[in-house]
Structure 1
Amino acid sequence: MAAILHSIAGSRSFRVNWLLHELGEKVEIVPYAIMDGSLQHPEFKAKSPARRVPALELDGRVLYESGAIVQYLCETRTGHSLMPAIDSDERSGWLQWIHYAETIGAGVQNLNMQHLFLPKEWMKSPTVMGIETKRLAIALKAVETALQDGRSYLLASGFSAADVMMGFTLESASRYVRFDGYPQTSQYLARIKARAAYQAAEAAEGPQQFYTQDFYELPEA
């Protein structure tokens, strides 16, 4: 039976969609839009108390936190190398990157609110935009440093679910921080986006719904 993924194209639900494709799991995508009120329907609220995607129906339960879903899928599915064993030296690093993706994601979310979702110009703060952009740029340095030793992915052993969590986040972060100063990160993101499962997940999900520009400049204060 296929997993059912409640999703908004271009949101955190892409992580789950992509990982399901990496695992070869069948998935049925139920699409939503952020501004059409569909997230407020009682049927969806029963699945996601925060009224946000993703929500994944799988194994007789509903999961609604992307990081938890990624770890659950890795722990309950077999025949993959997307998660180091508990006694592996890489396990702590894997967990660290899984959650560090949301450190970067929080900065992206704050900038999304300022650039995309506040409807009136007077609601937006150039000062906040500047601070959040700087914080995001600083957070990205950890990824650049991790890739300095020539590794292709976050873990020395190769591609893992940590890259699934991080890859989506970096794609969004590149809308606000130019990656010219992050050459290793830029190449890493290109490698990730070239994966067959990434491209299949994009095709299954459809075009992202958020960004109308490749890059958003800071407004003048």
Structure 2
Amino acid sequence: MITLHHVPLARSFRVLWLLEELGQEFDIRYYSIRDVSMRTPEFLALSPAGRVPVLEHHGAVWFESGAIVQLLCETYPEAGLAPKPGSVERARYLEMLGYAETVGCLLENLNLNQVFLRPPAKPSAVVVKLLNARLRAALAAMEARLEGRYLLASGFSAADVAFAYGFELARYYVDLDAYPRLMTYWTRLQERPAYIRARARDGQQDIYTQEFYPVPEV
């Protein structure tokens, strides 16, 4: 009764991971970002923008990963993966969800410029350099602010799921060894049983064709 529409290594991985953290049983319907499978009338009826994730949840249809993360935490509050409204950590939690989208938008623009544009269309070296610098600055800010084991002092939350996905993908564009606190944090998250299960179900990604995309020369 729960079906996740998913592209391997796309933002839908956030939902896949969170569902595993919540201990929910669900099916996965796989798509590719490189074909027209997300442009069919059937899929567009579920996702107006033709993007994943889409979550069919007991008769409801939800799209947008940030919204789905919040909806799942509200639907299963007993898991304790989101601070309740009015709690001390609620503001920090919402800030981190928003910050995860800031990182995600920078990655999306780098993907468009360095992964999906092909000759004769060539990415602007100036634009890529600026995006890369902004991504490094965003990660550096989190490196400076991270003090505990997780983003919230109370422990692991859905904010970690949202942010850590972007940190993982940043490896295609920046040297993550420049952020030792975040690397320790990320290693800790990778050891979570739910993450291991989610990665096993993620599927074979066909977004990135190389291990690292350097900033092109101006």
TM range (shorter): over 0.9
CA RMSD of aligned residues (A): 1.2
The aligned length equals 218
1 CA distance for matches of 2:71 and 2:199? Answer: 22
1 CA distance for matches of 2:152 and 2:202? Answer: 27
1:208 alignment counterpart? 205
2 CA distance for matches of 1:75 and 1:23? Answer: 12
2:88 alignment counterpart? 89
Q: Please, which moves more after superposition, 178-187 or 163-172?
A: 178-187
1:59 Cα deviation from its structure 2 partner: 2.8
2:5/2:30 contact within 8 Å kept = yes
1 CA distance for matches of 2:204 and 2:195? Answer: 13
2:52 alignment counterpart? 53
Equivalent in 156, 171, 174 of residue 171 of structure 2? 174
2 CA distance for matches of 1:121 and 1:81? Answer: 50
Which residue identity lines up with residue 154 of structure 1 in the other structure?
Answer: L
2:65 alignment counterpart? 66
2 CA distance for matches of 1:211 and 1:145? Answer: 29
1:94/1:162 contact within 8 Å kept = yes
Equivalent in 172, 192, 195 of residue 192 of structure 2? 195
1:73 Cα deviation from its structure 2 partner: 0.3
2:117/2:123 contact within 8 Å kept = yes
Which residue identity lines up with residue 103 of structure 2 in the other structure?
Answer: I
> Any idea what SS the aligned residue of 1:136 has?
helix
1:217 Cα deviation from its structure 2 partner: 1.1
Equivalent in 155, 159, 171 of residue 158 of structure 1? 155
Alignment of 1:115 with 2:114, yes or no, is: yes
| Deviation sequence 1:43-87 (CA, Å, 0-9, x none) | 100000000000000032111110000000000113212111212
1:29/1:205 contact within 8 Å kept = no
2 CA distance for matches of 1:45 and 1:13? Answer: 16
> Any idea what SS the aligned residue of 1:134 has?
helix
1:16 alignment counterpart? 15
Which residue identity lines up with residue 9 of structure 1 in the other structure?
Answer: P
| Deviation sequence 1:161-204 (CA, Å, 0-9, x none) | 00000111111112111122211011111111221111111111
1 CA distance for matches of 2:186 and 2:209? Answer: 20
1 CA distance for matches of 2:190 and 2:113? Answer: 27
1:33 alignment counterpart? 32
2:128 alignment counterpart? 129
What TM-score results when the alignment is normalised by the length of structure 1? 0.95
2 CA distance for matches of 1:176 and 1:182? Answer: 14
1:82/1:159 contact within 8 Å kept = yes
Moved over 6 A (4+): none
1 CA distance for matches of 2:142 and 2:176? Answer: 12
2:6 alignment counterpart? 7
2:106/2:131 contact within 8 Å kept = yes
1:121 Cα deviation from its structure 2 partner: 5.5
Any stretches of 5+ residues in structure 1 without a counterpart?
Answer: none
What TM-score results when the alignment is normalised by the length of structure 2? 0.96
1:122 Cα deviation from its structure 2 partner: 4.3
1:213 Cα deviation from its structure 2 partner: 2.5
1 CA distance for matches of 2:57 and 2:79? Answer: 18
